Amino acid sequence: MDTQSDKVTLTLFYVGSFVVYYLVTMLVTLFPNYGVLRNDGLLMPVLCLFEFAVIYPLYRFYCQRRSDIPLGYVRPLQALLFIGLLFALMVAQTQFLQPEGWLIAQSQQGRSSMLILLLTAVLLAPVFEEVLFRGFLLQGFLLWAPKSRFACMLLTSLLFAAMHTQYVHWETLVALTLFSLLLCYARLRSNSLALPIFLHTLNNLIAILPAWYFA
């Protein structure tokens, strides 16, 4: 980072991306057919589509000018280690997580609705959420506190959990925070977004696939 002005400019971009993401989420609630989307179980997939359509182009724009948040690639041995950590976390979560009402209601909409959710949650959500949280936000915190990595990871993770407003149980929010901490660590260890995107995809697939199968 060359100057203080550069740090401020980058911070404004990171914060602006987060604000745009939040505004898109809020604007969807103003759609005339918002109630229909919610009743038909299509609200979350539509949100994913719009959020991906906004955040991913911002990431491409960013990568054309900077190389500090690369997509990179997944290293097999490193991936195996983090898959093991992810599975350990998921097993531990089964001991205290409670069923979330929105996912139960979603599964009652039928398999077609669940399939759409599965596709968007596996193909789109991991990409734009990793770009935004483990990419822009984590990078923004590290920009100002490079020696306080855990604090930066924790702040990122708390924001990640807080933005998942469809979850209502505190146990789920704790699980989301721990999950995000793992993804933050994966981002820093691999120095890329490919590994956290892969882990996020795997997590969503394992979480939603059974609900789709039994819908």
Using one digit for the tens of pLDDT, what is the confidence trace for 75-116? 999 999 999 999 999 999 988 888 888 787 887 777 888 889
pLDDT attached to residue 110: 78
What is the reported pLDDT for 126? Answer: 98
Cα–Cα distance list, 11 to 14, 114, 181 (Å): 5, 37, 21
Q: What is the pLDDT of residue 214?
A: 67
Tokens of 108: 């009652």
Residue-level pLDDT, tens digit, the chain, 215 residues: 557 888 999 999 999 999 999 999 888 888 888 888 888 888 899 999 999 999 999 999 999 999 999 999 999 999 999 999 999 999 999 888 888 887 878 877 778 888 899 999 999 999 999 999 999 999 999 999 999 999 999 999 999 999 998 888 999 999 999 999 999 999 999 999 999 999 999 999 999 888 776 66
- For residue 1, the model assigns a pLDDT of 52
pLDDT of residue 97: 87
Tell me which DSSP letter residue 169 carries.
Answer: -
Give the residue carrying structure tokens 């971009």: 13
> Which pTM value belongs to this model?
0.94
The Cβ of residue 130 has, within 10 Å, a number of other Cβ atoms equal to 28
Cα angle 172-81-87, degrees, rounded to a multiple of 5:
30
**Residue 4: what pLDDT?**
82
**Closest of 95, 117, 108, 76 to residue 204, by C-alpha:** 117
pLDDT at 215 (0 to 100)? 61
